[in-house]
Amino acid sequence: MTSLAVVVPAIGQSLAITADPEPDKTNPAAMQTFQLPSHGALLNAFVYVAAGVGPHPTVILLHGFPGNERNLDLAQSIRRAGWNVLYFNYRGSWGSPGDFSFTHCIEDAQSAIKYLRDDTKAGKLRSDPNTIVLIGHSMGGFVALQTSALDRDIKAVVTISAADLGTNRVPAVPADQRDLFAKGLARGLAAEGMAPLAGVSPEMLASEVLANADKWNFVVLAPKFATRPLLVITSDDGLTAPNDGFVDAAKKSGNREVNTVHIPTDHSYSDRRIALQQTVLDWLARLTRK
């Protein structure tokens, strides 16, 4: 992987990071809040609408588990670069109604895509319903891959320290040790913090992972990404191995548009926020030039 060892110097930074664009009085930048319908629930959601008449390409920004890091600094920079950004909270998370589960997260991402593809909604948001990119951090990276694997019309995917939820380790666990493995997985999920999540327990989530491990494994998903641009960003958080496995499998499936960047920092990119934004903005700029 490419290693980004230092923050990108200011002289090379995108103007979307360092400066506000000229105001457009006719079609100004805006924030539209709404409730996103998903499987009977109305999720807390908003769109950062880019300035200009559009239609703008759109990023769906998917948060992780439980969602303390929202990456909204990244969202604002993406908006300044001319993209719309849709952000929402999954069912059962951060006040959105319903019960939380990993399956529901995938379904909710699909609902967000459906919302953006509605011509009426697209007109209101000045968005291009045919140009949608998923960007996910941690569990959000997992959701981005799972959702895009089911939807070939998603143009491209960015994962930021994507978490595979331990699915890569499940095949090596003997049948008589699965319960022990599930307990360890549940402890790890509980340690991440469950307070913002409703209708679920760590044990329920661990059981869900075990039940879906075969189809959720990153390597299994890779053939679905043989022809789509991918940006895989990793950090020093112990999640590099499953991401490397996914990248290798995607390349073996024929993908020639996989870009990888390793940023030496923690899972939240706490001291490399500018570097993270620069990496994503550079890649999105190349994507729109194609």
User: Residue range 160-176: average pLDDT?
Assistant: 95
Sequence-separated (6 or more) residues with CB below 8 Å from residue 6: 275
Q: What pLDDT sits at residue 12?
A: 55
User: Residue range 246-269: average pLDDT?
Assistant: 97
User: Residue range 58-73: average pLDDT?
Assistant: 98
Q: Token match 């494994």: residue?
A: 217
The answer for 46, left when phi > 0, alpha when psi is -120 to 50, beta otherwise, is beta
**Residue 266 pLDDT exceeds 70:** yes
Q: What pLDDT sits at residue 158?
A: 98
Measured on CA atoms in the order 261, 290, 119, 49, is the torsion positive or negative? positive
CATH number of 2-289: 3.40.50.1820
Which of 2-6, 182-186, 261-265 bottoms out in mean pLDDT, i.e. has the lowest?
A: 2-6
User: Residue range 155-168: average pLDDT?
Assistant: 97
Q: What pLDDT sits at residue 288?
A: 85
**Residue of 208, 211, 187 lying closest to 199 (CA atoms):** 208
User: Residue range 73-81: average pLDDT?
Assistant: 97
131 close to 155: Cβ distance less than 8 angstroms: yes
User: Who has greater pLDDT, 87 or 8?
Assistant: 87
User: Residue range 172-201: average pLDDT?
Assistant: 96
Burial label, 120 (beta-carbon count in 10 A; 0-12, 13-18, 19+): exposed
**Residue 9 pLDDT exceeds 50:** no
**Residue 5 pLDDT exceeds 70:** no
Of the pLDDT bands very low, low, confident and very high (cuts 50, 70, 90), residue 125 is very high
Sequence-separated (6 or more) residues with CB below 8 Å from residue 206: 182, 183, 185, 186, 189
**Residue 123 pLDDT exceeds 50:** yes
Burial profile 145-157: b = 16 or more Cβ within 10 angstroms, e = fewer: bbbbbeeeebbbb
d(CA 54, CA 122): 10
User: Residue range 63-92: average pLDDT?
Assistant: 98
133 close to 155: Cβ distance less than 8 angstroms: yes
For residue 110, the SS3 value is: helix
Amino acid at 234: T
d(CA 154, CA 168): 25
**Residue 1 pLDDT exceeds 90:** no
The answer for 82, left when phi > 0, alpha when psi is -120 to 50, beta otherwise, is left
Share of the chain above pLDDT 70, in %: 96
Q: What pLDDT sits at residue 216?
A: 97
60 close to 113: Cβ distance less than 8 angstroms: yes
Mean pLDDT of the chain: 94
CA distances from 251 to 3, 224, 225, 258, 265 (A): 19, 11, 9, 7, 26
**Residue 4 pLDDT exceeds 70:** no
Domain ranges of the chain: 2-289
The answer for 126, left when phi > 0, alpha when psi is -120 to 50, beta otherwise, is left
Omega before 55 cis (within 30°)? yes
Of the pLDDT bands very low, low, confident and very high (cuts 50, 70, 90), residue 253 is very high
Q: What pLDDT sits at residue 10?
A: 37
User: Residue range 225-233: average pLDDT?
Assistant: 97
Number of residues in the chain? 290
In angstroms and rounded to an integer, the radius of gyration of the C-alpha atoms of the chain is: 19
